[in-house]
Amino acid sequence: MKFHDLTIQEIRQKLRSGVLTSVELTQACLARIKATDDRLNAFITVCEEEALAAAAVADQQLAAGDTGLLTGIPVAVKDIFNTLDIRTTCGSKILANYVSPYDATVVAKLRQQGAVIVGKLNMDEFAMGSSSENSAAGVVRNPWDTERVPGGSSGGSAAAVAAGQVVATLGTDTGGSVRQPASHCGVVGLKPTYGRVSRYGVVAYASSLDQVGPVAGNVEDCALMLGVVAGYDPADSTSVDCPVPDYLENLKDGVAGKKIGLPKEYFIAGLDPDIKRAVEAAIETYRQLGAEIVEVSLPHTDYSVACYYLIAMAEASSNLARYDGVRFGLRKDIGKGLTGMYQQTRTAGFGDEVKRRIMLGTYALSSGYYDAYYLKAQKVRTLIRHDFLAVFEQVDLLLTPVAPTPAFKIGEMVNDPLQMYLSDIFTVPINLAGTCGLSLPCGLSAGGLPIGLQLIGKPFAEADILQAAYAFEQATDWNARVPKL
Ligand code: GLN
C-alpha cells in the first residue's frame, strides 16, 4: 500500500463512503511495516493490537457519521511524544521502559480527531543529531537507498511516510529535525513558528528552539495535520494565544504577485551541484508561476551554526539534568551513595552524542564562561532574528536549499561531529529566528536521491508557505516520486 497518490481528504472520502474500512487500512499499514521495517528500522514500537482496536472504534464512528478530520487514518508519532500506555523512549536507554502517565497535547489532539496511532518512530537520542544514527534502537535507513541515512533527528517520521508505512507522522524540529529528514526522504515536512504548537508532553531538548511539526506525503496533508495540532495550550506557557487559520482554505490561491527572496548567503560556492541545479530550477518554476524573485541578504548567517549549537547544548545540559535515576526510567545503583547512583545511571543511560552535548553545554554555562559563550550566543541570536524580520519587510517568503548535500552514507559523518553540525547551516537559522519553514521535494540527484526545497515564512504565516508549496507541487511532479522498496 502506498498513500502518495491519495490525500487524507481522499482517504476520508473512501472511509466515509464505506469503500474502505479503517481496519482494512490499518491492516495494510501494519503489513507494510512488517514487510519493510526490518530494512528501515523506522519504528521503535509498533502497537498492532491497540491500533486495530482503535481502527474498529473508528469504523463504528464513521458508520455513525463521525466528522473527525482524521477518523480512521493511521498515523505515527516520533518517540519523543508522551503517549499514555505506549512507552516513550526518546531513542535513549535511559528512558527504555518509560511509560508516561499522560498524552502530549498534540497526541491528544490527534486522538480527538479520530487518528489511529500505529506506533512510535525512531529518532536520534533526545533529538540530538542530523542522521538518525544516534538511537539506542539502532540506525534508521533511508527508503530510497538503505545504505544511506534518512536525515535526523526525526528520521523515522520521514522514512515511515516515504515508505508508505503510515499516512502521516509528527516529528519535532529544534534545528531542522523535521525539514532535513523530509528533504532526504522526499516528503513534506513543516516546522511551525515557535509558539504555534503546544509542546506539553514533548520530551524537551532545547526549550527555546523546540517545535512540533507534521510530516506528510503531500502539501495538503501537511496543512491538514498542522491544523489538527496547532493552537494555544494553557499547559504550555510558550504556546501563543492567537487564532489558528484554516490552512486548507487558501491553499490553492497560487503565488502570482508574491515576492520571494533568495538570501544570497544560502547560495554559496560549495553547494552540491545537484542541489544547486534543483533549487535553481525551482526558482524558475516560481518565476513562471508569477512570483517576483529578488535577492536579499541575511548577513549573520555565518554565525548561525555556532550560535545554535551553543544555545542548544546549554539548554540540553539543563533539561537533561532531570534524568537522575530517581524520577524517570533507568536506575543503576551499585551501592556507592547518591552521587554514585547518578553517575552510574547517566553513564549507562546516555549515548556518546548526548554526553558530548551535556558536557559542552555545561561548560558553556559555567561561571567564568557564561558571558563569553552563552550570553554572547543569545546576543547573536537576536541579530539573526533581526535579519529575518528586516528581510520580511521586503518579501513575503524566502526560498533556500534545505541541506547542503543529499542523504549521506551511514557511518560517513558520525565520527566527525563538527562536519555533521555544519550540515545544519540552512535550517538552524529559522529556529533561532523563531519563524516557520517547510521542506518539499524539488528534484532528484544524479544518484536518484530526493532533494528538498525550503520555504521560510514570516512568524505565524504558515499559510503563506503552504500556499507557495502547494503551487509548486501542482506545477511539478517531484512529489509524485516514491522509493522502490
Ligand atoms: N541536527 C540538529 C541537532 O543535532 C537539529 C536537531 C533537531 O532539530 N532536533 O541539534
pLDDT attached to residue 4:
63
Active site annotation includes 78: yes
Residues in the chain, total: 485
One of 22, 130, 132, 153 is an active-site residue; which one? Answer: 153
Residue 150: pLDDT band (50, 70, 90) is very high
Catalytic residue among 22, 78, 100, 258: 78
Query: Which residues, 6+ apart, have CB-to-CB distance to 152 below 8 Å?
Result: 123, 124, 129, 130, 131, 132, 133, 134, 140, 177, 180, 181
Residue pointed to by grid coordinates 457519521: 65
pLDDT digits (tens, 9 = 90+) for 251-295: 999 999 999 999 999 998 779 999 999 999 999 999 999 999 999
Quick one: how far is CA 171 from the chain centroid?
4
- How many angstroms does the Cα of residue 176 sit away from the middle of ligand 1? 6
pLDDT above 90 covers a percentage of the chain that reads 94
| Mutate-to-test residue for ligand 1 from 79, 125, 130, highest number of ligand atoms within 8 A of CB | 130
Strands of 125-242 (E only): list them. Answer: 168-173, 188-191, 211-216
Q: What is the per-residue pLDDT for 87?
A: 97
How far apart (Å, rounded) are the C-alpha atoms in residues 232 and 240? 5
Model pLDDT, residue 334: 80
Provide the pLDDT for residue 269: 74
How far, in Å, from the CA of 47 to the mean position of ligand 1?
Answer: 27
Per-residue confidence (pLDDT) for residue 180, from 0 to 100: 98
How far, in Å, from the CA of 68 to the mean position of ligand 1? 33
Residue 1: predicted pLDDT: 43
Q: What mean pLDDT, rounded, does the chain reach? A: 96
Coil vs helix vs strand at 262: strand
CATH superfamily of 3-254: Amidase signature (AS) domain (3.90.1300.10)
Tens digit of each residue's pLDDT (9 = 90 or more) over 312-356? 999 999 999 999 999 888 999 888 899 999 999 999 999 999 999
Q: Taking 70 as the threshold, does the pLDDT of residue 171 lie above it?
A: yes
Q: 31-87: per-residue pLDDT in tens?
A: 999 999 999 999 999 999 999 999 999 999 999 998 899 999 999 999 999 999 899
Choose, from 135, 177, 198, 317, the residue flagged as catalytic: 177
- Domain residue spans in the chain? 3-254, 302-378
- In tens, the pLDDT along 354-368 reads 999 999 999 999 999
Cα dihedral 197, 200, 206, 210 in deg (nearest 10): -10
Q: Report the candidate in 61, 63, 54 with the shortest Cα–Cα distance to residue 25.
A: 54
Of the candidates 263, 267, 277, 219, which has an alpha carbon nearest to the alpha carbon of residue 443?
277
pLDDT tens column, 186-228? 999 999 999 999 999 999 999 999 999 999 999 999 999 999 9
The mean pLDDT of 407-421, rounded to a whole number, is: 94
User: Residue 433 pLDDT > 80, yes or no?
Assistant: yes
Q: Model confidence over 436-471: pLDDT tens digits? A: 999 999 999 999 999 999 999 999 999 999 999 999
Residues 6 or more apart whose Cβ sits within 8 Å of residue 414: 131, 133, 134, 420
Residues with CB under 6 A from ligand 1: 127-130, 153, 172-177, 205, 312, 424
